[in-house]
Structure 1
Amino acid sequence: MLDHPVVDVALGLALLYSVLSLVASVVKEWVSTLLSLRAKNLEKGIGTLIGDDYADRLYGHPLVNTLAKSKKKPSYIAADTFASALVDLIAQDEDGNPAVAMGDKAAKLVDRVGDDSALKAPLRAMANLGAETVDDLRRQVAGWFDEGMNRVSGWYRRRTQLIIFAIGAVVAVSANASTVHVAQDLWRDDAMRYAIAQEAVAMASDTVSADSVQVSDAILQSFPLGWGSEGDWGWGAWLSHLLGWLLTAAAVSLGAPFWFDLLGRVVKLRGTGKRPGRR
């Protein structure tokens, strides 16, 4: 156990980042929904996998176009649904009638794909690596889609992390939540540091997950935030605040789960501690 002002300052900053990260996450979800980012990211990933021509046809397939409402494109397609829809598209003739059956040789389906299509090479590879029938090929396509979507999920996470960083920057400036100045104030004010550390302990001991924690205005009001009487700012003050805002935005971009986990670890390191002024 360790009871030291440095630990309490770390607790205070972790608590601040946790709360601001929750705020940023809520705003990010709103932005993602408004801009249909998940659906657009999925569409881009499918286009990369099978080519734009087949992607357009896939989104028009009854198994796929019924997954979203109001003519919007779906934000999620199950692997089996994707594979069934794609195989069905390839297996149809020009009149929409089935030209290939599930029990036919996989090579018969692969031959229906044009040589200039991005889909030709992966389907041929699957057929050569053990997919004997069309149904075998359909199952391998489902697995291939899952692997591709893992990469697409990585694209989405990187994209949304940039969005959260931007949101964090806006929140940091608008609330004047400068890491540098909050840390300085916590270090100088024993009573405030202890009170905020106790808030952090209470938050860390809560059994609910980070995503469902209710953000309390009282927590943020405990911190030295906001735009009061700042006085005249010279270059040094501006640079100090700019550094502090950037540090806050970078911390927020790590996400609430990260900070709640770290909060719990620091609480275990700290122990219960003593009130300021007591021996």
Structure 2
Amino acid sequence: MIGLLSAYIDLALGLVLAFLMLSLLVSGLNEAIVRLLAIRSKFLWAYLRDTLDGDAPKGRSWLPSGLRDVFGALPFARDPRPAHDEEPAPAVPSTPPPEATGGDGITDLLYERVREIDHPTRGRTSIANLPPERFAVAMMELAATEPGGVEGLLERLKATGSPLHGHLKGVWESAQRDLDRFRQGVERWFDSEMERLSMLYKRYVKWVVALLALVVTLLFTVDGLEYGKTLLRDNAYRATVTAVTDAGPAAYDELKAQCEQADPVPCITDTLSQPALVKVLDNAIVSMSVPAEGEPSFHWNGGAWLDRLVTPSHWPGFLLTYIALMFGAPFWWDVLRRITGIRSRRQGG
């Protein structure tokens, strides 16, 4: 009974470690794409342009409105970010004419007030997180340049057709025209908007993660069911090796039969040095081998990979792996901690 329980624990640990490793790979690829294409920064400035200046040219929203925009327009076709400027914010904000909108509108005035926290990314701003306090102060600075203060700023926003007019007017009325309460109200409003934007960003990123999980599953052709059987077989094999000293020549003969060699020692050494977790990526389109001596080598595995990919018996295992990767690395790390009893620093004190 204890041996059976141990086998199931080994199976659970092996599956969790494999799914955690592959989930980390998916997360790493996603983070690399996000950083390379500056997705977070584009998402923020797309929202700001929608909120401060209105729709993009041709009446389209700057924010993605569907999967086509998520995978095409936002990463490649339209860049809503202002051009990077190394100069510090001027003491007196610029005042474009009231009819100025789009690239000369409120969004660029906002960037002018916050560009001290910026550094360039291929000529564009890299700001991907705008603190609510900084946004509120920027709005107060813009209001200070208007003849009527906040009232003047609201009139300018109304004249340019900015969607921000309605939001700030509601905050100004609820603050009863008190400047300090208005600033605090703008902070709270912008903070809630950033939370909403984060939820929208995560919803769209799930589609990217789903695509990457599918690519990883198919490129490495990790059959979760086959891998589970390999784990159980390895456990049984190790149990046989351990039992040789207690069971005598009969167990040794059985071991020779399994290895199909007169001397099973090389077979035992090779099997124990390459457990299932090490071999889980052997079926990738490009496999890697690490010999006992010498440098690691890579091998093109295209023919065997394609045969495995089009074999229907592997498809349920691929589906299991794909669904497992959709849970994400944090989920599998938490499962691993629960199984092994690892405690986080916060829990361990």
Give the structure 1 partner of residue 142 of structure 2: 89
- Counterpart among 25, 31, 35 of residue 29 in structure 1: 31
> Cα deviations across residues 181-216 of structure 1 (Å, max 9, x unaligned)?
21232244424799xxxxxxxxxxxxxxxxxxxxxx
Q: What TM-score do the two structures reach when normalised by structure 1? A: 0.70
Identity of matched residues, %: 26
Q: Secondary structure at the match of 2:27?
A: helix
> Cα deviations across residues 68-115 of structure 1 (Å, max 9, x unaligned)?
32532211211111222233334434xxxxx355xxxx5554344316
Distance in 2 separating the partners of 1:168 and 1:193: 32
Give the structure 2 partner of residue 76 of structure 1: 129
Contact 2:222 2:321 in 1 (8 A): yes
Give the structure 1 partner of residue 58 of structure 2: none
Query: What stretches of structure 1 of length at least 5 have no aligned partner?
Result: 94-98, 195-216, 269-279
Residue 59 (structure 1) shift: 4.9
Q: What TM-score do the two structures reach when normalised by structure 2? A: 0.57
Q: Superposed, which structure 2 residues align to 1:225-244 within 5 Å?
A: 225-226=282-283, 238-244=311-317
Q: Superposed, which structure 2 residues align to 1:199-238 within 5 Å?
A: 220-223=277-280, 225-226=282-283, 238=311
Contact 1:169 1:249 in 2 (8 A): yes
If you compute each CA radius of gyration, which structure gives the higher value, 1 or 2?
A: 2
Give the structure 1 partner of residue 327 of structure 2: 254
Q: Determine if the alignment matches structure 1 residue 110 to structure 2 residue 183.
A: no
Please report the RMSD computed on the Cα atoms of aligned residues, expressed in angstroms: 3.6
Structure with the greater relative contact order (CA < 8 A, sep ≥ 6): 1 or 2?
A: 1
Aligned residues: 237
Query: What stretches of structure 2 of length at least 5 have no aligned partner?
Result: 55-101, 240-273, 285-300, 342-349
Q: Secondary structure at the match of 1:114?
A: helix
Residue 147 (structure 1) shift: 0.8
User: Structure 1 pair 108/14, CA: closer, same or farther in 2 (3 Å)?
Assistant: same
Give the structure 1 partner of residue 20 of structure 2: 18
Contact 2:175 2:185 in 1 (8 A): no
Residue 3 (structure 1) shift: 2.5
Distance in 1 separating the partners of 2:112 and 2:139: 9
2:215 is aligned with what amino acid? V
The worse-fitting range, judged by mean Cα deviation, of 255-264 and 159-168 is 159-168
Distance in 2 separating the partners of 1:249 and 1:232: 18
Q: Determine if the alignment matches structure 1 residue 57 to structure 2 residue 108.
A: yes
Q: Secondary structure at the match of 2:184?
A: helix
The worse-fitting range, judged by mean Cα deviation, of 137-146 and 80-89 is 80-89
Residue 262 (structure 1) shift: 0.9
Distance in 1 separating the partners of 2:275 and 2:232: 20
Q: Determine if the alignment matches structure 1 residue 160 to structure 2 residue 211.
A: no
Contact 1:176 1:245 in 2 (8 A): yes
